Amino acid sequence: MAPFSVVGQPLVRGIAGVSEIVHSDVPLSFWGGVDPKSGRVCDARHPLMGISLKGKIVALPGSRGSCTASQVILELLIGDVAPAGIVLRHRDEIISLGVIVAEEFFDRSIPVVRVDNDDDYARLAEASRASIFASGRISLDPCHDVEETVVEAAAARNVELSSEDLLVEREKSSARGRAMRIVARVAEIVGAKRLVDVSRAHIDATTYIGPASLRFARALVAAGGRFKVPTTTNACSVDLGRWREIGVPPDIGEPAEALADAYVKLGAAPTFTCAPYLDDPPRPGEDLGWSESNAVAFANSVCGARTQKNADFLDACIALTGRAPLAGAHVVRDPACLVDCRALPEVDARDRDALWGLAGYVVGALAPRAVPLVTGLADVPATEDDLKNFSAAFATTSGSPLFHIQGHTPEAAAFDPTALRETQTLDASALRDAWLSLGGYDDADVDAIDLVALGSPHASLDELSRLDHLVHGRKPDAVRVVVTLARRTLEAADPAVVRRLLHFGVDFIVDTCWCMLNAPVILPNDRIVTNSAKYAHYASGLVACGRVHFAGLAGCADAALSGRAPSRRPPWLLRRATFSTTIPRLFVAACRRRLVLF
């Protein structure tokens, strides 16, 4: 082997010629973090912001955040703006899955390689150019390289398939056969020895981000696909009943509607919600095939169910086969690190929802790939909506599908905090920095605002009732207040509550959610206030908006009434703040401590 090389494990085999290398120590969510049309990084909080990944070898610890990263990878490949290859420090089935689907359905591919140790990964940062060979070897100095003339044979399969699985896998052109081959390949990547039956699935791939995702779904329909287990649908990209009325352009509305329809044709229930646990929470110990990052975190952590954080497209493959890799949160439940929150100040009931959202955001940054055990919050009341917001924020900054909170989640009591060697402290200073990173207001910051964005994840019946108690009369005409929620939730809501909120000026949008919305719901340079830490993080990378302010629901109600960002800093946040790189540094520090789930 050449001395200027790094040995890697191929997750997706392939060859990348000599290319510029782009390296980061911070995980990246390709969805909301990379423009699928150009290949340019658009996550304002990521060190690679503004850099084009097209034609480059991209080195990352792994992914974080959204399951839709696999869709972005596919769109990049189909649009000829993909990286030349991807090198990962950790196994990452979400990034790999996008390439696997491109290979299986569209004859497009790039190599995806995992390096085995931190030293080799650090060497990638010192190189300016690299190439990747089919064996997984990464050459860091092409001038001193030894050419490979023999392509290594694929490694022997380590996944034991049942006799029925093998029969399905041999169906070369059927939807189920293709799905089973993809499930088996992902099982190899995550180190699963066998597959497990799932009782139900949840499809996140209903989000339309480009033509490749629609081609994939239509190919499954054309191949006779039919979901084997009960399956729900995540929020799609439009309000299916009135996208034309809202003013969504047909070039977005029509393919988005067609994508949603394709998954219904495959047998999914038209639930179109990113909070499927509100209507039908899974049982403790129930094996699921769920996608959507917040739904996965809530199901595993709050409900005690068992599902891996499945990539978009893999969710459909699991629904078609009823089988999932037996790995990740299906089997690994023990925490790997402790996050001590005893230093947090007391928070009044008005701001408690903001505390839970911020805490989830920072805990995820402290545990980018590890299952954390959170202590010190047992005496802080938490509603189902508070835990929903924690789950969504945690899943934005972490790649882990699971967390435990003593006093609030069902499995936390089984673990001894003193047995965990990795310990982090979360205090008001960390929350303050996260608050300002997410656009939380300062005492002197009373900008006029244009839009109050509520319902990410989808609003619950309790949130509608609380909003009804917080607002009164009529809002200023210049301010728009929009709540996204499941159609079923709106239909089940108290008619009097809905009537009063409509009178106040609230617009209800169903079937879709904030992370899928764009113009005309969000206008260019709109100044936004939201109670979602998740949306405050992603918004600037998804839409051409102005400043985004994070606040609790009460602060959002104040903004709706006044037309200005709230001027009251929550008293539990410290006054002095100098946030610039604190959250990215948390990611880097945690990654270097090797807090790894798998």
Q: Position of tokens 């839409």?
A: 543
- Residue 310 CA to residue 401 CA, distance in Å, equals 9
Q: Enumerate residues 6+ apart whose C-beta is below 8 A from 510.
A: 239, 240, 241, 272, 484, 485, 486, 487, 490
Q: What are phi and psi of 463, to 5 degrees?
A: -65, -40
Quick one: how many helices (H) and strands (E) in the chain?
A: 20, 22
- Identify residue 444 by its one-letter amino acid code: A
Task: Find the catalytic residue in 63, 66, 96, 437.
Answer: 66
- Identify residue 107 by its one-letter amino acid code: D
Q: Enumerate residues 6+ apart whose C-beta is below 8 A from 346.
A: 572
Give Cα 564 to chain centroid, integer Å. Answer: 30
Distances (CA, A) of 87 to 121, 186, 380, 455, 586: 9, 17, 42, 36, 22
Residue 366 three-state SS: helix
Q: Enumerate residues 6+ apart whose C-beta is below 8 A from 360.
A: 389, 390, 391, 392, 393, 394, 533
- Identify residue 222 by its one-letter amino acid code: A
- Residue 503 CA to residue 507 CA, distance in Å, equals 10
Host H or E run for residue 374: strand 372-375
| 488: number of Cβ within 10 Å | 16
Give Cα 571 to chain centroid, integer Å. Answer: 31
- Residue 552 CA to residue 401 CA, distance in Å, equals 25
Residue 296 three-state SS: helix
456 is catalytic: no
**Taking phi first (over 0 means left), then psi (-120 to 50 degrees means alpha), and beta for anything else, what does residue 426 get?**
beta
Where do the H-state alpha helices sit in 378-427?
Answer: 384-397
Where do the H-state alpha helices sit in 161-235?
Answer: 163-169, 175-190, 211-222
- Identify residue 103 by its one-letter amino acid code: E
Residues noted as catalytic: 66
